[in-house]
Amino acid sequence: MTHFLRKNHPPSLSLIFFIFVLTLCLNTGFASAETPTGSIKGIVKTSDNEPIGLATLLIKETNQRTMTSVNGRFNFKKVKPGTYTLVASFVGSTTKSQQITVTENAETVADFILEDDSKNLQEVSVKGHKTNKFLKKETEDVARLPLKNLENPQVYSVVTSELMKEQVVTSYVDGFKNIPGTGVPLVYNNGRTTLLSRGFTTGNFIRNSVAGYNFNAIDPADIEKIEAIKGPTGTLFNSSLASFGGLFNRVTKQPFGTPHTEIAYQTGSFDLNRLTADVNTPLNHDKTLLFRVNAALHNEHSFQDAGYNRSFFVAPSITYIVNDRLSVDVDAEIGNGSATSAYRLAPDPKAKIYNIKDLGIDYKRSFANNNLDYQSRQIDIYALVNYKISDNWKSQTMFNKTFSTTKGFVTAFTISDTAIRRQATKEDYPYYITNVQQNFIGDFKIGRFRNRIVTGFEYYNQKSNNTNVSVNMPLINYKNPGAAYNNFTPEKVSALIAAQAPIPGNYVQNNQSSYAAYVSDVFNITDRLNAMASIRIDRFENKGAYTPADGKTTGNFNQTAWSPKFGLVYQLVKDKVSLFGNYMNGFNNVTATSFDNTPFKPQYANQWEGGVKVDVWDHKLSSTVSYYDISVTNTTMDDPAHPGFSTQAGTQLSKGIEAELIANPFAGFNIVGGFAYNNSKITSAAPGTGIQGLRPGASGPARLANLWASYRITNGKVEGLGFGVGGNYGSSSYQTNTATFKFTIPSYTTVDATAFYDQPKYRIGVKFDNLTNEKYWSFRLAPQNPTRFTLNLTLKM
């Protein structure tokens, strides 16, 4: 497949546009002006009598489709007289149909009431969220319980597929622009990404609430939503996959009962060619067997003089509703691609330049070569079995098996006042992940008190076989490199590797497992006051790093850790305003190496948090504001007395304020905004490290803000025409921050804009990222994209 991606050119824009126009014409047809017609109009509402915007209406016999406006109304014009079956559907709701008769020059009225679909376990409630289309806070993923946002003492953000579609997101991490406090993404050598959460670097290792460890880039084609769950989450989630700031859970698209297909093509700056498909269909008449597949073909070059990413991705999923008690979901993510290594630059502490802007390094030089690349593969299998034991209890069994690997060359650069040193690593790095969870979820009363409880156990195993050899190229002048600039090639690197004496550490096997049991209960003291209490016990077994060359194993140890969690919520105004507070604990098993090979204790983080959640004006305004205080003990750091080793002698404090707003002030106008202030510092450190009292460089900017506002015309001849504008801000930060050396990354402000025309059968959109052509960098000093243009064409069938 990689060979195919390299040798075959992607389809041209003209060809795609021709197919787009031809398909549109074939679907639209040519109706004679003289043919007598009638019309169909109506409104679609929830069982609570609230209008449903963006519901789909289908005339079965003619395959004509339309969608409701934000007030739930629809209208079919120029329908030939006759008897038809009209079908109304909306994701998260039951599908309804009725027979109607259209007569000449008359208006037929057909109204629908759609009820919540109990099959859709990802939505606790869909009422009211039809107009505020970017609001999908109701989820079972955060607490593993049917708990509404206003009842939950934990803070979380949700980025919907609708928002990512409006912003023409072609890269998974671009969706994080809408989450308060995530900052500029860190892209690692193999495409793996991390972002910030409350001042801690946080990976993307969780998929559908279980391990989805992907060492490579994540394609957004099958993402239904991104959930950013804030704070130490050690009670219900595996600590190996989360940070003390929280975790990111990517929720994938699942099959539903109405046939629907979307084919989309994106093109634009940096030779972008991206073709995606989303095909959903029931496989039987009773709609008990549902199938959906998402696929993407992606080809893009860097804005720099070298660098590319080519990939193929497919994600099939199937749901089997065995009966009213049992359902089974099985899906997979399969990816294959090739790319050049992400840009990574480290400053020399002995240099006399302390700001990336002062270096004078060429923003568009990659200092690399397209032939110095790597290949990636990914296979992720996921299964979910839901069984209703009784009216009050259900069983939830989850299984995940992941294989993720990279093979080839990755690069890194070190820079001084005048010279740059280029390093290359030839690696073969496969990861093998197995994760099994069994949950029992109850919702019952003891006397007059309601209890919602989840109890379960989890097994997690992670293996890797790492083969790597690193070499350094000669120094070159980074301002005037000359012919030596082109010497960074596979041939030159391979020659240096062949001349290097092998060492046992060139091939290392790692194997670690954890076994966990947990219980969490939400107890309703009154209908407005509820308390949460949770606890988890983990047994961590690390078999260490084994080097077959010398038969040695290092770093092997076993640990047991406890993690409690408590929370209180009081609703000042029932279902509208709540005050909340929580104490949360998380831990990390430390696998670093000490000088005397003594195992380290687990790192612990304790969070105290309080705030307010608001959901008012029929869900038109949703907001969360909170203050948190996270203290970390048993922090590890470089051992100044023994270079190359670590010591456990520190504590860290991270506290701050987070605010989020999702609003729909009037029909068609939507706002998503956020602000995060984080004060993080090392409160205790080993003598000689020079970091006590200072903000860690990896904590990122102290202040981050995001805003997106869009308007879509909801009535009239240009209904579906829309515009959006927004941006992101980050204050200055440090790449390195010690008493002896500080290297600063300047503040940044970026502005994005879009325009689109969204119709039931097609969508056309354009997007400009970084309109002001701001130069800004990640923590790894990777220059970010300049102004970027993207055109999107989508067919809906």
pLDDT in tens, 283-304: 998 889 999 999 999 999 999 9
Single out the residue in 199, 228, 251 at which a domain terminates. Answer: 251
Is residue 506 assigned to a domain? yes
Q: Same domain, yes or no, for 422 and 560?
A: yes
Closest CA to 141 of 513, 515, 396: 396
pTM for the whole structure: 0.84
d(CA 381, CA 378): 10
Q: Same domain, yes or no, for 355 and 212?
A: no
Is residue 636 assigned to a domain? yes
Share of the chain above pLDDT 90, in %: 72
Residue 581: how many other CB atoms lie within 10 Å: 15
Q: Same domain, yes or no, for 190 and 305?
A: no
Q: Same domain, yes or no, for 170 and 58?
A: no
Mean pLDDT, residues 649-671? 95
Please check the confidence at residue 335 and state whether its pLDDT lies above 90. Answer: yes
Query: Residue 177 is part of a domain; what is its CATH number?
Result: 2.170.130.10
d(CA 380, CA 314): 11
Is residue 129 assigned to a domain? no
Residues forming a β-bridge with 675: 659, 705
Single out the residue in 251, 266, 282 at which a domain terminates. Answer: 251
Q: Are the C-beta atoms of residues 628 and 656 closer than 8 Å to each other?
A: yes
AA letter at 731: S
Is residue 672 assigned to a domain? yes
Backbone angles phi, psi at 120, to 5 degrees: -80, 90
Confidence at 116, pLDDT banded by 50, 70, 90: low
Query: Residue 327 is part of a domain; what is its CATH number?
Result: 2.40.170.20
Rg for the chain, CA atoms, rounded: 27
Q: Same domain, yes or no, for 471 and 589?
A: yes
Residue-wise pLDDT for 407-455, tens only, equals: 999 999 999 888 999 999 999 999 999 999 999 999 998 988 999 999 9
Is residue 12 assigned to a domain? no
Q: Same domain, yes or no, for 83 and 180?
A: no
Q: Same domain, yes or no, for 600 and 698?
A: yes
According to DSSP, the β-strands at 552-554 and 289-301 are unpaired
Residues forming a β-bridge with 537: 517, 562
Q: Are the C-beta atoms of residues 144 and 133 closer than 8 Å to each other?
A: no
Q: Same domain, yes or no, for 230 and 256?
A: no
Please check the confidence at residue 737 and state whether its pLDDT lies above 50. Answer: yes
Please check the confidence at residue 344 and state whether its pLDDT lies above 90. Answer: yes
Q: Same domain, yes or no, for 401 and 509?
A: yes
Residue-wise pLDDT for 63-81, tens only, equals: 888 878 656 788 898 899 9
d(CA 395, CA 386): 6
Is residue 20 assigned to a domain? no
Is residue 606 assigned to a domain? yes
Is residue 599 assigned to a domain? yes
Q: Same domain, yes or no, for 156 and 285?
A: no
Token readout for 144 is 């593993």
DSSP H/E element including 164: helix 161-166
Token readout for 682 is 């090392």
Mean pLDDT, residues 533-540? 95
CA 645 distance to own-chain centroid: 34
Q: Same domain, yes or no, for 522 and 599?
A: yes
Q: Are the C-beta atoms of residues 83 and 38 closer than 8 Å to each other?
A: no
Residue-wise pLDDT for 707-724, tens only, equals: 999 999 988 889 999 999
Single out the residue in 197, 218, 251 at which a domain terminates. Answer: 251
Q: Are the C-beta atoms of residues 619 and 644 closer than 8 Å to each other?
A: no
Q: Same domain, yes or no, for 544 and 650?
A: yes
AA letter at 188: Y
Show the CA angle centred on residue 656, arms to residues 693 and 571, nearest 5°.
150
Look at phi and psi of residue 544 and say left if phi exceeds 0, alpha if psi is from -120 to 50, else beta.
Answer: left
Question: Per-residue DSSP letters for 87-152?
Answer: EEE-TTB--EEEEEEE-TT-EEE--EEE-B-TT-TT-S--TTTTTSTT-----STTTSSS--GGG-
Domain count along the chain: 3
Domain extent for 518: 252-796
CA quadruple 469, 473, 475, 479: dihedral sign: negative
In this prediction, residue 626 carries a pLDDT of: 98
